């Protein structure tokens, strides 16, 4: 679902600046679900506008207004207009696991290789 800026007037983000932009939405999600807040690709490509802590997670026990933390990674000021689409929300189930401490992990072809070790 699209998330829109719930603003009374325009808000400008200078290059490198971040602001929490209200959406005017509050939710009561069922247990075991989250709302993931994700950037919009057009804003990112065309203006360098993205989200910090992306994807953001709205937990089922949160009851406040959803705000989107926008950051301007572009080279020019960017103005967020009232009712502008600023992010996307994805409703998703949350899997809960239990960690188990072990002496050694089973081997894998990748091993302990980090960034860049999964191939092309």
CATH code at 31?
A: 2.70.40.10
Has residue 120 got a pLDDT over 60? no
Token pair belonging to 78: 């960017």
Count of domains for the chain: 1
Q: In this predicted structure, what is the pLDDT of residue 110?
A: 75
Say if 120 falls within a structural domain: no
| Mean pLDDT of all residues in 83-95 | 97
Cα separation, 118 vs 39, in Å, equals 26
pTM of the shown model? 0.83
As a whole number, the mean pLDDT across the chain is 93
Q: Which residue has the tokens 């949350």?
A: 94
| Mean pLDDT of all residues in 47-69 | 95
Q: Which domain holds residue 9?
A: 2-93
Q: In this predicted structure, what is the pLDDT of residue 113?
A: 73
Q: In this predicted structure, what is the pLDDT of residue 115?
A: 73
């Amino acid at each position: 679902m699209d998330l829109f800026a719930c603003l009374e007037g325009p808000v400008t983000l200078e290059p490198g600046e971040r602001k929490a932009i209200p959406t005017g939405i509050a939710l009561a999600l069922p247990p075991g679900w989250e709302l993931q807040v994700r950037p919009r690709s057009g804003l990112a490509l065309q203006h360098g506008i993205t989200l910090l802590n992306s994807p953001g997670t709205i937990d089922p026990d949160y009851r406040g207004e959803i705000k989107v933390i926008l950051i301007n990674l572009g080279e020019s000021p960017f103005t967020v207009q009232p009712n502008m689409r600023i992010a996307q929300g994805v409703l998703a189930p949350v899997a809960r696991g239990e960690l188990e401490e072990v002496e050694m992990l089973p081997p894998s072809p990748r091993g302990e290789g980090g960034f860049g070790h999964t191939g092309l």
